[in-house]
Chain A
Amino acid sequence: MAEAQVNVEPRNIRKDKDEVVISIKGVKKSFGTKQVLKNINLKLKRGENVVVLGRSGTGKSVAILCIVGLLKPDDGSLKVFGDEVAEMSDSELKQLRIKIGFLFQSGALYDSMTVRENLEFPLTRVLKIPDHAEIDRRVEEALESVGLLEAIDKLPSDLSGGMRKRAGLARTIIVNPEIILYDEPTTGLDPITSREISELILTIQKKNKTSSIIITHDMECARITADRIVVMDDGEFIAEGSFDDLHKSNNKIVASFFKDIS
């Protein structure tokens, strides 16, 4: 039990804006006979927010599950901080996951724990911080940054959808990840809460200098958060550019996403 506190400082990483933190080249993934990822290529730079747009079932979530090593690509190269994820040992993968935050679509809060305990979990189990005062300080700071301090002792079942997302986001940022992967962060929320969550994502990027991949089909979220947008269809990226560039695109699939945007 008495293990050393985990050092979360990145190893000799050049922290300039052009540094590529995630590099995906020719990644393919199949389930049975169905090829979900056909040929994925993407580079995420430090401090950049990349939005992945795509209809449901096009393989967006599979792509980010490959990044954290929950799924193994069948082919291609997927490097995070220059290291090939598929070749990592369990302990290397664990170290990598400390640097990558993941916000699940449902928030994925642990049902049996209060919001406070949810946030304490990665601090005590992963970073192994022994100091209770430090843990309390970080929990309160994270909840304050997502505007949820008043719900600190509530159970997830007592929270609304938006509050769950905020609590999930607080649990994600509490370990100060360098990369955050958002899986449909605004799905199932009303437009006002969706906008608040999108603005929160942007605030976190600016404040913590995180790099993010945001999977969504919410155009308002894409407009607010994206430095760059890639559009995915049928397991491939079919277009890439800024929000304004893609807004003018003649591609039928891309245009269908932007048709209601004035």
Chain B
Amino acid sequence: MAEEVIMPGWKRWLEDIGDQVGFFFKFLKNIFVGGFEWSEFVRQCYEIGYRSMMLVGITSFIMGIVLILQLRPTLVSFGAASMLPRTLSVSFIREIGPVVIALICAGKIASSIGAELGSMKVTEQLDAMEVSGANPLQYLVVTRILATTFMVPLLSVIGDAIGLFGGFLALNIRDSISFSLYFTKVIGALDFTDFLPAFVKTIFFGFAIGFVGCYKGFHSNKGTESVGIAANSAVVTASLWIFVIDAIAVQITSLLFYK
């Protein structure tokens, strides 16, 4: 029906940036205008949070084990095997846990949101919602973005705990350490400046995952292949955003806490 207007890549890129900014302001406006969809928000928290818990848990557990097994030979060669719990907790809580869990969520959640909204667009469900006088942004976008912003930090905290527990089990394969001693060392190695910046950046990771998923799905084309493109593009873009946010967060944290 609509003939594609061919425009240069840079112009399309700029137009896309403009669309994303516009989409962000529409999202902000729709949080406060016209009522909040609580039941859909709770449903999305369940879909996004609870249904991702198993994947996040297993991945974090394995990461905890692998990190201990990889760190051990190096630290043992320096005679610093007792540093293993401390090294794991600082690296896991500050960086590895939040970033890897966010990347897993980007793969699972951003793709699922992108594909769901993309297929709703292809099958005219978004148009049907709009012509009925309902607001698809309020019902579909606001709830999903807020649910990811709320649930990804929660998943990250749970994943961190499971990862550290995995580390405890891995440590007991070759060495012997009691649960209470291990967790005393793990918690003792951490302070406020480890927890807070890591937690705050997962809020931004969650927002980026939800926002990118919704934007890609909402702005997909109308062919069936667009659903796959929207899902794929959502994962790639959200993953990229996670690294960009992480780089910015590290700079801010260094300036504020590690002078």
Contact = CB atoms under 8 A, between A and B. Distances in A.
A130 to B, nearest CB: 12
Contacts of B139: 125
Nearest to A64: B131
A34 B123 CA distance: 24
Interface residues of A, number: 33
Interface residues of B, number: 25
A33 interface: yes
Contact of A111 (B38, B120, B132, B134): B120
A32 B1 contact: no
A102 B119 CA distance: 19
B123 A108 contact: yes
28 contacts: A1-B36, A1-B38, A2-B35, A3-B35, A31-B2, A31-B3, A32-B2, A32-B4, A33-B5, A34-B2, A62-B1, A70-B131, A94-B133, A97-B130, A97-B131, A100-B131, A104-B124, A105-B124, A108-B124, A108-B125, A111-B123, A111-B125, A121-B134, A122-B132, A125-B132, A125-B134, A126-B132, A175-B132
B244 interface: no
Contact of A32 (B3, B38, B133): B3
A235 to B, nearest CB: 11
A32 B5 contact: yes
A111 B36 CA distance: 22
Contact of A110 (B2, B34, B125): B125
Contact of A1 (B3, B35, B119, B123): B35
B124 A106 contact: yes
A33 B124 CA distance: 25
B128 A104 contact: yes
